[in-house]
Chain A
Amino acid sequence: MSDIEAQTREMLRTVAEAGDMAALEAVRISVLGRKGVLTELMKGLGSMHADERKVMGPVLNGAKDELTAAIAARAQALHAAALDARLALERIDVSLPARPEIRGAIHPVSQVMDEVMAIFGDMGFSVAEGPDIESDFYNFTALNIPPEHPARQMHDTFYFNEKPGGERLLLRTHTSPVQIRTMEKSKPPLRIIAPGRTYRCDSDMTHTPMFHQVEGLVIDESAHMGHLKGCLIEFCKAFFEVETVRMRFRPSHFPFTEPSAEVDIGCRRSGGELRIGEGEDWLEILGCGMVHPVVLRHSGIDPEKYQGFAFGIGIDRLAMLKYGIPDLRDFFEADLRWLQHYGFAALDIPSLAGGLSR
């Protein structure tokens, strides 16, 4: 018996000394193979006397279990060592730069249009559109700006050449023609916004011949100027993402609204930065008013039954104010450096639930 124990110890030692998988496999075969030392010993159990077998059986089985476990453990250790050795050779310089991707961007005008649509969309407005090349009727006459009206001179209109019939088309000077087109097509109650390109024959530090506006129109039986004020205050709070905003409604004059107002927003300029909603300065951001009865009548709506309001906001101006963009003229230059700096990621889709900006 002690002989077997000594043999087992010797076998365990050879297992432990096996330097690689091939050596270990040779040891396994020499011990547990068909002609292995232990296998041979176990073969002898059958011819033993019952009493002797009772003693030797557990001894041999114990030795077999012990050796089997030792071989498995040694195999695992050898595997691990081999893997470590391989991985040590597979080392790379992970500080090398990652594969490049080119990043696109959304223009601030598009982003702000999406923001404006998200806010007014929530207030029940839907989006309407009209053509850039307009008739005199839609751009002026229907909006209570008859020929020779001094307001026409304030508009710096781009005209096309006169047609044989005497008609003279123009580039819309504001998005207000969409008011008329909408009222002609649909019956109240109406809540629309109309974002789009507008044009004036003007070019200097703060004016470009093309710019963007969003028109708003609400017509029903009871919308009054307090609603206009409430609607615009809520818009400004949501758009500028501030809790409170100082606003000032100043009486003004537009031929197509009456009463008319211009709206200033409180701001503070300090160190080249513009903070919206606070401070002592005022910045004009929009014009608005109650839709003039003449305009309603031009569009086939009875001003004794229906009333409502309209507003026009400069989209480029909103973008400049919110995102601190200094110069309007850069909007239309397509300078890649500018687009990279002021543009928005494709996946930054503004929503009220998720926030307009991050």
Chain B
Amino acid sequence: MKFTLSWLREHLETAASVNEIAERLTSIGLEVEAVQDRAAGLNGFIVAKVISAEQHPNADRLRLCMVDTGREQLQVVCGAPNARAGMMGVFAPVGATIPANGMVLKASKIRGVDSNGMLCSASELGLSGDHEGIIELAPDAPPGAPVAEVMGLNDPMIDVSITPNRPDCLGVHGIARDLAAAGAGMLKSGMVTSVPGNGPCTVDIGLHFDDVAAPACPVFAGRLVTGVKNGPSPAWLRQRLEAVGLRSISTLVDITNYISVDRGRPLHVYDADRLRGQIHARLGRVGEKLHALDGNEYEVDPSDCVIADDSGVQGFGGVIGGMPSSCTDATVNVFIESAYFDPRRIAATGRRHGIDSDARYRFERGVDPQFVLPGLDLATRMILALCGGVASDVRVAGAVPALPEAIEFRPERVRALTGMDVADAECVRILDALGFAVEADTRPMGVRAPSWRPDVHGETDLIEEIARINGFDKLPATPLPRMQPVTGVAVNTPQNRVRWTKRLLAGRGMMEAVTWSFLSTRMAELFGGGAPEVTLANPISTELSVMRPSLLPNLLAAAKRNADRGYADISLFEVGPQYAGDAPQDQSTAASGIRCGQTLPRHWTQGERAVDVFDVKADALAVLEHLGVSLDKLRITVDAPNWYHPGRSGVIRLGPKNALANFGEVHPAILDTLDMRGPVMAFEIVLDAIPLPKTRSGPSRGTLRSSDLQAVSRDFAFVLDAAVPATELLRAAASGAPELITGVALFDLYEGERIGAGRKSLAISVTLQPREKTLTDKEIDAVAEAIIAAVKKATGGELRG
């Protein structure tokens, strides 16, 4: 909502400066987005009369002008096609700075001819200009006068952001009312006296709705003004509209726009001679079309509220008018429409057809229904004053909706809810100043909201009014009382697991990424997703159109971007949501990561090593162990999802069903699709799948069981079938003497000619921890025998000779 200081002063008697006004506006909830001093930079720019304009002797496109600046006559070279003798222009003397480009004017020779200053165009002054060429001022502009004054630019423009609950502030009068209530001045009366008619209105008006649709347009008023003369608006009206960014069209149209900004009351004017029969509001019909003022043709929808005559639809009521019945410079008889439309239907029509008009903006937020007739009178008066003519009587169809019920108001609730100490009398004063009718002698008080405040429904709305006018700077900043002397834990175990996992993985040298929750359908499908229910109806791009089924695709894409920048060794992880469906329980939190390239940068101490499956397996196991999973309860199966290399991937399970994590090499076909060089290792841990500790065992670690007796270790090498998983051998070995064996480590794997095809040799080191007495050689030998027997039984492995 834009207005100028002088416009505001037509509604508010105030001595406050523009800065004071702006500060007050923001402090009462009318946030000032900008204050524009349109005269800034125009110091020294004066009115000049062009005495003569002749062809430049050396340039076809330039003209040689003599200008009268009121003090002297100067020669100026000008390139504008509209420069002509007799016109009044904007003159920038030598030394002036051109606002648009910061250039300082110097006396110069242009193609051999002296030029002492410049005649300016609107764009050179930093003003938007519709016309090509230099500005043409009114013929009576006095030469030598400051241009800012003559053009009405010494009137700062204030742009205020109005929240959707305040349609009353979409008019200057409403803003003035708020300012007056906040003590920034005195509100001038907005009362409109009615304009008597001279005979009946010959244009008939009607409302054609069934009971269900009737609220679409409860009241439609209008009157005819005959014998008007339309044309360009007077300078004051044009300047005012242009100052707030509106284009002047013709006096009749400008008047409706003026009242829309001045009072927040949209109106529409029709060329009465172009209407056929009764003008009425009704619902649209299938097949109807509207040729609208914006030049577009719209297919009318049966739920649009339209204004129509016998020849068809003339406009979407409260949204946009139609071209065929619009006013032109030739209009002599004008019909003025002032109506009230249902905000919801306006919003729906505007959205359906994609029309953003000033009328829609106001109607969908709710205009003052009681101002239907005053608005009509205001328009009539202005038309009579500016265009002449004779006004008919007013015709009204329907009735103005009734005011809402009074609200019960307890002033003590202001204090209870805001903590501000506002006296009852001040509450009443503020409400009264805002136009509320207050019954102050009863408890609770009875408060009736004014017709221009459709946002006020209950007591809290009144409290808000009092709080904001009283000023939020008066809110007493009060610390929240502590609930306990030492505050308890804020974060539960699943939330903490997210935090712990991030820090653990970062500690393992991985970089945490945060990537989009969505991706392309193509990528989603490669990772088992892409279902219609998780596909956005209005994505921002096809690349971000489906909720991700896994964190890996976006991490891979990120790795690719980094690889393309020359980074070969990449380790990235993310902890975040993935979506198996659209229900809340389908969203799970995953911790996933990828590694590719070398484990470490090249260095003089060691050879390079490429990352492999066992790096990401270690990542996954480290997270699981950190989150309290006991590793010896885990099983590795080889049925990872199909985005992994089938022979180089695994699933980490707790029990046969509960898959906690996948790990492995990313399937080369996926990398091909991404145009990525591999191999890439990946892991995915579903944090939500990790069981929570059943009961909180407390922080106690239990007693340390350590032995003073020295542990003994013995090495074994077994030859067995290559297909037997190593874990089976390790588990079998450990079972050889469960009470003594505290560790089994696999330290060598050999496959090769010496043991034959399809065979492998696994070497293990078994640690024995005696508890009561030192083991004798005999006892150790017995344990070794038991281990060998257990391994042979479980895996068929033979001790390697």
Contact = CB atoms under 8 A, between A and B. Distances in A.
Interface of A: 96-97, 99-107, 109-110, 114, 117, 120-127, 129-133, 148-151, 153-154, 158-163, 168-169, 171, 189, 191, 193, 197, 199, 201-203, 209-210, 218, 222-231, 233-234, 248-253, 258-262, 290, 292-293, 307, 331-337, 339-340, 343, 345-347, 349
11 contacts: A102-B601, A123-B480, A124-B480, A127-B492, A127-B495, A151-B164, A210-B516, A225-B419, A251-B472, A292-B460, A331-B514
A160 B347 contact: no
A109 B514 CA distance: 8
Nearest to B605: A99
A335 B479 CA distance: 41
A193 B576 CA distance: 18
B491 A107 contact: no
A229 to B, nearest CB: 4
B579 interface: yes
A215 to B, nearest CB: 14
A102 B517 contact: no
A250 B535 CA distance: 39
A48 to B, nearest CB: 56
Nearest to A114: B499
A212 to B, nearest CB: 8
A106 B503 contact: yes
A160 B533 contact: yes
Contacts of B27: 250-251
Contacts of A249: 472-473, 475
Contacts of A202: 540
Nearest to B533: A160
**Listed residue (A102, A123, A168) with the most chain B CB atoms within 10 angstroms of its CB:** A102
A334 B561 contact: yes
Contacts of A163: 533
Interface stretch (B42-50, B265-273, B462-470): B462-470
B54 interface: no
**Listed residue (A132, A222, A332, A346) with the most chain B CB atoms within 10 angstroms of its CB:** A346
A150 B364 contact: yes
B582 A169 contact: yes
A224 B480 contact: no
A345 B510 CA distance: 11
Contact of A261 (B472, B477, B483, B575): B472
A104 B509 contact: yes
Nearest to A181: B584
A126 B490 contact: yes
A106 B507 CA distance: 9
Interface residues of B, number: 101
Contact of B461 (A153, A160, A191, A258): A258
A131 B577 CA distance: 9
Contacts of B540: 158, 201-203, 209
B165 interface: yes
Nearest to B540: A209
A231 B558 CA distance: 39
Contacts, number: 269
Given A133-B547, A161-B532, A104 B468 contact: no
Interface stretch (B566-574, B659-667, B744-752): B566-574
B418 A225 contact: yes
Given A150-B347, A209-B540, A259-B467, A122 B507 contact: no
A340 B562 CA distance: 13
B507 A347 contact: yes
A345 B503 CA distance: 8
A96 B603 CA distance: 10
A260 B495 contact: no
4 closest A-B pairs by beta carbon, nearest first, are: A226-B419, A251-B29, A121-B490, A253-B163
B40 interface: no
A224 B480 CA distance: 10
B484 A133 contact: no
B482 interface: yes
B460 A349 contact: no
Given A153-B347, A189-B483, A332-B515, 20 more contacts: A102-B599, A105-B512, A106-B512, A130-B584, A150-B364, A160-B582, A163-B533, A168-B537, A197-B517, A224-B417, A224-B418, A225-B475, A234-B479, A258-B460, A258-B461, A262-B31, A334-B562, A339-B512, A340-B511, A347-B503
B344 interface: yes
B417 A154 contact: no
Contacts of A158: 536, 538-540
A332 B478 CA distance: 38
**Listed residue (A109, A225, A233, A249) with the most chain B CB atoms within 10 angstroms of its CB:** A225
A285 B517 CA distance: 24
B618 interface: no
B189 to A, nearest CB: 26
Given A102-B571, A148-B348, A250 B31 contact: yes
**Listed residue (B344, B479, B506) with the most chain A CB atoms within 10 angstroms of its CB:** B506
B587 interface: yes
Contacts of B484: 124
B550 to A, nearest CB: 15
Nearest to B562: A336
A229 B512 contact: no
B420 interface: yes
Interface of B: 26-29, 31, 163-166, 343-344, 347-348, 351, 364-365, 416-420, 458, 460-461, 463-464, 467-468, 472-473, 475-480, 482-484, 487-492, 495, 499, 502-518, 532-540, 544, 547, 555, 558, 561-562, 565, 567, 569-572, 575-577, 579, 582-584, 586-587, 599-601, 603-606
Given A102-B600, A224-B419, A230-B477, A110 B495 contact: no
A209 B516 contact: yes
A127 B490 CA distance: 6
A265 B418 CA distance: 21
Contacts of A226: 418-420, 475-478
Contacts of A262: 31
Nearest to B587: A131
A117 B540 CA distance: 32
Given A227-B419, A332-B514, A252 B509 contact: no
Contacts of A150: 164, 347, 364-365
Given A252-B31, A253-B164, A259-B463, A117 B605 contact: no
Nearest to B486: A122
A339 B223 CA distance: 68
Contact of B534 (A101, A117, A160, A292): A160
A290 B415 CA distance: 13
A293 B584 contact: no
A252 B52 CA distance: 57
A117 B515 CA distance: 22
B517 A125 contact: no
Nearest to A168: B537
Nearest to B572: A334
A157 B483 CA distance: 38
A218 B480 contact: yes
Contacts of A258: 460-461, 463-464
Given A251-B467, A292-B460, A336-B567, A133 B511 contact: no
A97 B511 contact: no
**Listed residue (B364, B464, B476) with the most chain A CB atoms within 10 angstroms of its CB:** B464
A317 B480 CA distance: 25
Contacts of A333: 558, 561
A110 B502 contact: yes
Contact of B507 (A104, A191, A334): A104
A169 to B, nearest CB: 5
A103 B605 contact: no
A253 B567 contact: no
Contact of B517 (A107, A132, A191): A132
**Listed residue (B475, B509, B544, B606) with the most chain A CB atoms within 10 angstroms of its CB:** B475
Contacts of A117: 490-491
**Listed residue (B480, B509, B540) with the most chain A CB atoms within 10 angstroms of its CB:** B480
Contacts of A148: 343-344, 347-348
